[in-house]
Amino acid sequence: MRTIGLEEHFVTEELAGYGAGTSTIAAPAVWAEASRKLLDLTGERLAAMDAAGLDVQVLSLNSPGIQAERDPSVAVTRAAAVNDLLAATIAQHPTRFAGFAALPLQDPQAAAKELERAVTQLGLRGALVNAHTQGRYLDDPALRVVWEYASGLDVPLYLHPANGVDTPHVLADHPVLTGPMWSWGCDTAAHTLRLIFGGVFDEFPDAKLLLGHMGEGLPFVLWRLDSRWAFHDHHGIDLARGNPSEYLRHNLYITTSGVCDAPPLLCSILALGADRILFGTDYPFEDMATATAFLAAAPISEADRAKIAHGNAERLLKL
């Protein structure tokens, strides 16, 4: 079955330093191995895809990417350069790769324009955003222009985790909890709720948000979000769709990246519908073959398996 992965990372020598603060998420030898794989675009990666039965990788710059750059003008230049490199790589292997742009969100207008250039001139399929940008989240009024362009271009923004601005008190003295095992998921789910309650999806009703890691826990809590929101008289917030869960059903798409486990997949299908779930591996941080084997064996209908493997991606990303 044709299989398309949506959370497939790479990095360049020039940009690898932005990820230094993330190296603590893995044992040193594991990080070194992942770093080596991130730098390879068309060698070992293609062989691993062939071995795993992964037909297409939608490539994205590894977290935190350009967003860790403090100088906005450097971010603008480097985002354009890495998007050009990505487009050139895809042009060499158009049947094996597609891509999500990196955006210099430090400069919102430039980020919107770079998204437009990436989609209309480079053929990229949207953008991947790594959490906050120098403390600014995607519901910030200054970043509405990025949503305006994404909506107008009809491309998704993929919200991927990164280290938070600070360490929440509850995680203090437990570094094991900071990173992809726990804090990144909480942080990304909270960021998503900021978008809902911050009115982004009321201003851009058909904006498309992608989340990895089986929706960062959100498919599990739809009913409780609605129930406890009502319990507090909606906190004085008016939501055009009526309930927070409606946004998660309408604006949200999720990928299976980094979660090779049937119970959360079945929950997500029941909560959001199979049309909202797309395949991803989180390469090189998860094993590609483990992910494709999980999808092949998951206890779901063949129709749903085809949607998740490729049908939904072909429709959402116009592949």
Q: Does residue 286 sit in helix, strand or coil?
A: coil
Cβ–Cβ under 8 Å, residues 245 and 226 = yes
- Give dist(CA 10, CA 59) in Å, integer: 7
Q: If DSSP states are collapsed to H, E and C, what string results for 71-135? A: CHHHHHHHHHHHHHHHHHHHHHCCCCEEECECCCCCCHHHHHHHHHHHHHCCCCCCEEEECCECC
- Give dist(CA 8, CA 292) in Å, integer: 13
- Does position 216 interact with Mn ion (CB under 5 A)? The reply is no
Least Å distance between CB 39 and Mn ion? 16
- Does position 282 interact with Mn ion (CB under 5 A)? The reply is yes
Nearer to Mn ion (CB atom), residue 256 or residue 268: 256
Cβ–Cβ under 8 Å, residues 58 and 4 = yes
Catalytic residue list contains 282: yes
224 to 263: interface string for Mn ion, x by CB under 5 A? ----------------------------------------
Nearer to Mn ion (CB atom), residue 7 or residue 187: 7
Nearer to Mn ion (CB atom), residue 108 or residue 258: 258
Nearer to Mn ion (CB atom), residue 7 or residue 139: 7
Nearer to Mn ion (CB atom), residue 280 or residue 311: 280
Active-site residue (options: 107, 282, 287, 304): 282
Least Å distance between CB 304 and Mn ion? 23
Report the Cα 155 to chain-centroid distance in Å: 13
Tokens at 156, concatenated: 């998704």
* Interaction residues for Mn ion, span 4-23 (CB under 5 A): 7
- Residue number, nearest CB to Mn ion: 282
For Mn ion, how many residues bind (rule: CB under 5 A)?
2
β-sheet bridge partners, residue 99? 59
Cβ–Cβ under 8 Å, residues 3 and 292 = yes
**Distant-in-sequence, close-in-space partners of 177: CB < 8 Å, separation ≥ 6:** 171, 183
Q: Which stretch binds Mn ion (CB under 5 A): 100-108, 141-149, 282-290, 310-318?
A: 282-290
- Does position 114 interact with Mn ion (CB under 5 A)? The reply is no
Chain residues binding Mn ion by CB under 5 A are: 7, 282
The residues assigned a catalytic role are: 282
